[in-house]
Chain A
C-alpha cells in the first residue's frame, strides 16, 4: 500500500509525540545554560584576555594535586585535582585568578542534560533520543513539503492559514518552530550517529606521545613558551605531567589542535591541527548546544517553545481524524464529481449516514464529492445528482455548517442537476426536520427538479435509512443497500439506590431517582446540568435527562417525569431499588452557570428543577440566587421541598418563588416572573444570569415573558443569549 506524505507525517508524529515533547522541553531548559554560564564567567560580550601560562601557574599554586585544567566553551575555568585526601573540581575566576566559592554550573542542569541525552536509560535511551531526533527531522521536512504542495509555493510558509482552529494552531506554531526544529533535529541526528560510531568519530587524530629525554630540570608553568603565547580563550584543556615523572609531558588541547609540551624546553611537540572533520563536528555541536555561542542557544530554545503546541495540536488532529466517519473515503474533486452529497450537521452520526451513502454510491460506480452544506461549490460542471442530508438545530434552525446555505442559494448554477433532500430529526420535538423542509422548498424554488422525493429519518433509525436507500437506488436505477447503525456510546451499568415518587395525585407522576455503582470510582464523571443518556431495554436509542447531581456527590441523581407511553420514562419510573440501568454521560458545558458573583435567576417547572437544585447545591460562594419554580400542587409534587428549605437557610438560595397551577388562585411560573418584573429588571441590569430548565412549551412562554419584562430596559432574550446570560435546557 502506498503511504501518502500526510499519512507518513501522521504516523511518525503520533509515535514520536511523547519523546518529542520531552526533548523539546528539556532542550528549552538547557538552552539557558550557555547564557547563564557566560554571565557568571563575565564573558557575555568578550572572551578573557589572560594567557594560559599565567592562569595555569596561578591555579597550580593554589590547587594541590592539580591534574588538569579544563576551560569550557563559555569560559569557565575548572581545575581538576586528586590527592590521597580526595578529589574534585575547583572553579576559577579568569580575571582575578582566584578560586570561586560556588560552582557556576547547576547540578540540576547536569541531570536535565543527562535526561535530554539518554533519558537516564544509558545506551538504550540514547538510541531512543536519536530515533526521536530523526522523527523530528522527518516531521519537519514532510511538514514543510505539505505546506508548500497544499497551499502553493514557498509564500505559504509565511502567510496565515484559513482552516480550523486546531489546524491553524498546528500550522502557525509549526511555522515558528520549523527552522529551529530542522536545525536541531538534523544536528541531533548527527551527534547521535557519532555517539553510536555510525559515522567515524572525528577526534581520532591522536598525535602520539612524544619521547621526553629527562635532562635539565623542568620549567615553571609560567615560563613555558608554548603557554606564554596562548590566550585563555583558545584553551580547551591542559593536562599536567605526573609529579616526579621526568618522562611525562604536558598535554594540551586548544581550539586549533592538540599535542604535547616538553616540560624541559617548553616547546610544543607532536602537535596536530584539528582536521576538517573535527572542525565540522565542533560546529554541529555548537549549533545544537549553543555552548560557546549563547545567542545561538537562546535562539534555538526560543524556537522550541512552539514545539509542544505543534505536537499537541498534531496529536489532537490525528485523534479527531480517527473519529471521522469519512476517514476511509476518497473524495472526488467537485469539478469531476457526478454525484454531490452536501451535509448539514456537526454530529458524527449524521456524517456517518452520509459517509455510508457516499461509499455505496462510489461502489455503484458514481463519482462522489461530499462536503459541508456551507462549502457548496458555485457549480458542479459534471454534476448530475445532488443529495442534501441535514439535521435541524434548535427551533428549526440550520446546523452551524449549513447556516449560509439558503442565503447563498441564488448564486448556484444549476447545470440541469437534480436533487433530493433527506432530513434527520426526532419526531418528539416540534419543528421536526424543519430546516430540511426549508432546504427542500428552497431548492424547488430555484427551478431544480427532484430525482427522489423528500424523506426524513426519525431518531437515527437504521431501518428507515436502509429502506430510504433501497428507494433512492430505484430512483437512480441501481441497487443500493445502506447499512449504518449509529454507534452507541460506552455505557456504565448503575443500580437504582433510591426512588422518591411525587405527583401521582395530580396526574403528573414524577420521580427523583438516585443511581449508583458499588464503587464511587466507577461512577461516570459529571456535573449538574450535564445529560444522562439512558438506554432502556429493547430501545435502540438513548433518552436524555438533565443531571441534578455532581460526580462528587457519589451518586447520579435525575428527575424523571413519566410520559404517557414513554418507553424510557416508563422503564425508569417502574424499576425497583437494586435494578440495573445502562447509562452514559453526555457533557452539556453550555448549560452551566458562569463562575461569577453576579446574581443567578433560575426558572423551572416540574422535573426541570433537577439541574437547578444541582446548581444551587454548588453555589457555595453564595452568589445571590433567585429560584422560580412551578408545580401543580404543593401537597403532591413539590420536588426537593425540604432540601430547598435547607439551601435557603444555608444561604445558597436568596429567594424561592413557587407557583402551583392546581391550587386556588394558583398559576404558572411565568405569571410569578411577571409579578417580579421590577426586581428582575434590576437583577438583569446588575448582570444577572438566567438559567431555564423545563418543558419546551414552558421554555417558550418564559422567553416571551422575559422579552416583555426586559423591553423597558432595552434588552431582550436574544441579546442575553449572545452574552451567555440566558441558558436554556428544554425538552
Chain B
C-alpha cells in the first residue's frame, strides 16, 4: 500500500537568515522504499556544509520519546527542538511519500547547504543520514535504508 502524505512547512528561520537577499521556495520529496514492520519515523532537516543542523523541516512520527532513534538529527538539533509541533506529522509507511515545502535563502543554496533525512523503524533499524542532498548541486539523490530517493523542485 502506498502512503501519500503532503506536509507543508514554511521555514521562517531561513527567511530571517536570508535577510534582505532573495529566497526560493522549494518542495522536498522523500520517497520511502519498501520495508516490513511498523511505520517509519523520519526527520527531514537542513544542515550547513559541515553537517551542523540549521533547521528542522519536518518530523514524521508523533512520539517524541522515539526521536532519539533519528540519531544524526537528534544529536545535532537539541538546541532547536523546543518548538517542533508545527513541523510534526504522522509516521510514514512502506512505499510512502513525504513532501515538504520550505523557503530557502539563495545564500544557503549557493554555499552548498544540505537537506538530510534520518529514518527509524521501531525494533527494526535506525538509518541516520538515509539521504543527503546538497543544495545547488543535486536535485535528486538515492537514499539508503528506508529512503528510496530524496528529490527537490
Give the B-binding residues of A (Cβ under 8 A).
65, 67-68, 80, 82-84, 87, 89, 110, 197, 201, 206, 208-209, 239, 242, 245, 247, 251
Known: A201-B65, A245-B51. 7 other contacts (CB 8 A): A80-B126, A82-B125, A84-B143, A87-B127, A87-B146, A110-B123, A197-B65
Residue-wise, chain B 115-131 has the 8 Å CB interface mask toward A (1 for contact) of: 00000000101111110
Q: How far is the CA of A186 from the CA of B45 in the complex (A)?
A: 42
Q: Interface majority SS on B: helix, strand, loop or mixed?
A: mixed
Residue of B whose beta carbon sits closest to that of A245: B51
Q: Tell whether A84 pairs with B142 under 8 Å between CB atoms, given A242-B72, A245-B51, A247-B51.
A: yes
Please list the 10 inter-chain residue pairs (A to B) with the smallest Cβ-Cβ separation, ordered nearest first.
Answer: A82-B145, A82-B144, A87-B145, A209-B75, A84-B142, A82-B127, A80-B125, A242-B129, A84-B144, A83-B144
Residue of B whose beta carbon sits closest to that of A122: B38
B89 to chain A, nearest CB (A): 17
Q: How far is the CA of A110 from the CA of B126 in the complex (A)?
A: 18
Residue-wise, chain B 55-66 has the 8 Å CB interface mask toward A (1 for contact) of: 000000000010
Interface residues of B in 53-104 (CB under 8 A from A): 65, 68, 71-72, 75-76, 78
Residues of A within 8 A of B50 (CB): 247
Q: How far is the CA of A161 from the CA of B126 in the complex (A)?
A: 55
Q: Tell whether A65 pairs with B144 under 8 Å between CB atoms, given A206-B68, A242-B72, A245-B51.
A: yes
Q: How far is the CA of A84 from the CA of B142 in the complex (A)?
A: 6
Q: How far is the CA of A242 from the CA of B76 in the complex (A)?
A: 14
Residues of B within 8 A of A82 (CB): 125, 127, 130, 144-145
Residue of A whose beta carbon sits closest to that of B129: A242
Contact check, B51 vs A87: say whether CB atoms are below 8 A apart: no
Give the A-binding residues of B (Cβ under 8 A).
50-51, 65, 68, 71-72, 75-76, 78, 123, 125-130, 142-146
Residues of B within 8 A of A209 (CB): 75-76
Residues of B within 8 A of A65 (CB): 144
Contact check, B143 vs A67: say whether CB atoms are below 8 A apart: no
A258 to chain B, nearest CB (A): 11
Residues of A within 8 A of B72 (CB): 242
Residue of A whose beta carbon sits closest to that of B50: A247
Q: How far is the CA of A247 from the CA of B76 in the complex (A)?
A: 12
Residue of B whose beta carbon sits closest to that of A118: B38
Q: How far is the CA of A68 from the CA of B128 in the complex (A)?
A: 11
Residue of A whose beta carbon sits closest to that of B143: A84
The answer, among A87, A110, A242, A245, for a CB contact under 8 Å with B125, is A87
Residues of B within 8 A of A208 (CB): 78
B149 to chain A, nearest CB (A): 10
Q: Tell whether A68 pairs with B144 under 8 Å between CB atoms, given A197-B65, A201-B65.
A: no
A-B pair count, CB < 8 Å, reads 40
A202 to chain B, nearest CB (A): 11
Residues of B within 8 A of A245 (CB): 51
B19 to chain A, nearest CB (A): 28
B133 to chain A, nearest CB (A): 13
Contact check, A87 vs B126: say whether CB atoms are below 8 A apart: no
Q: How far is the CA of A314 from the CA of B129 in the complex (A)?
A: 54
Q: How far is the CA of A56 from the CA of B123 in the complex (A)?
A: 21
Q: How far is the CA of A201 from the CA of B68 in the complex (A)?
A: 13
A126 to chain B, nearest CB (A): 12
Q: How far is the CA of A650 from the CA of B65 in the complex (A)?
A: 75
22 contacts across the A-B interface (CB closer than 8 A): A67-B127, A67-B128, A67-B145, A68-B126, A82-B130, A82-B145, A83-B144, A84-B144, A87-B125, A87-B127, A87-B144, A87-B145, A89-B125, A110-B123, A201-B65, A206-B68, A209-B75, A209-B76, A242-B128, A242-B129, A247-B51, A251-B71
Residues of B within 8 A of A206 (CB): 68
Residues of B within 8 A of A87 (CB): 125, 127, 144-146
Residues of B within 8 A of A84 (CB): 142-144
Q: How far is the CA of A87 from the CA of B129 in the complex (A)?
A: 13
A134 to chain B, nearest CB (A): 22
Residue of A whose beta carbon sits closest to that of B146: A87
Residues of B within 8 A of A239 (CB): 71
Residues of A within 8 A of B144 (CB): 65, 82-84, 87
Q: How far is the CA of A493 from the CA of B120 in the complex (A)?
A: 62
B22 to chain A, nearest CB (A): 31
Q: How far is the CA of A80 from the CA of B145 in the complex (A)?
A: 10
Among A67, A82, A197, A209, the most chain B Cβ lie within 10 Å of the Cβ of A82
Residues of A within 8 A of B51 (CB): 245, 247
Among B65, B76, B146, the most chain A Cβ lie within 10 Å of the Cβ of B65
Q: How far is the CA of A197 from the CA of B63 in the complex (A)?
A: 10
Q: How far is the CA of A209 from the CA of B125 in the complex (A)?
A: 21
Residues of B within 8 A of A247 (CB): 50-51
B147 to chain A, nearest CB (A): 9
Q: How far is the CA of A67 from the CA of B146 in the complex (A)?
A: 13
A107 to chain B, nearest CB (A): 9
Residue of A whose beta carbon sits closest to that of B127: A82
Residue of B whose beta carbon sits closest to that of A237: B126
Q: How far is the CA of A83 from the CA of B129 in the complex (A)?
A: 11
Q: How far is the CA of A167 from the CA of B90 in the complex (A)?
A: 50
Q: How far is the CA of A468 from the CA of B16 in the complex (A)?
A: 98
Residues of A within 8 A of B130 (CB): 82
B5 to chain A, nearest CB (A): 17
Residues of B within 8 A of A67 (CB): 125-128, 145
Residues of A within 8 A of B142 (CB): 84
Residues of A within 8 A of B78 (CB): 208
Among A67, A239, A247, A251, the most chain B Cβ lie within 10 Å of the Cβ of A67
Residue of A whose beta carbon sits closest to that of B68: A206
Q: How far is the CA of A80 from the CA of B143 in the complex (A)?
A: 16
Residues of A within 8 A of B75 (CB): 209
Q: How far is the CA of A208 from the CA of B129 in the complex (A)?
A: 19
B25 to chain A, nearest CB (A): 29
Residues of B within 8 A of A197 (CB): 65
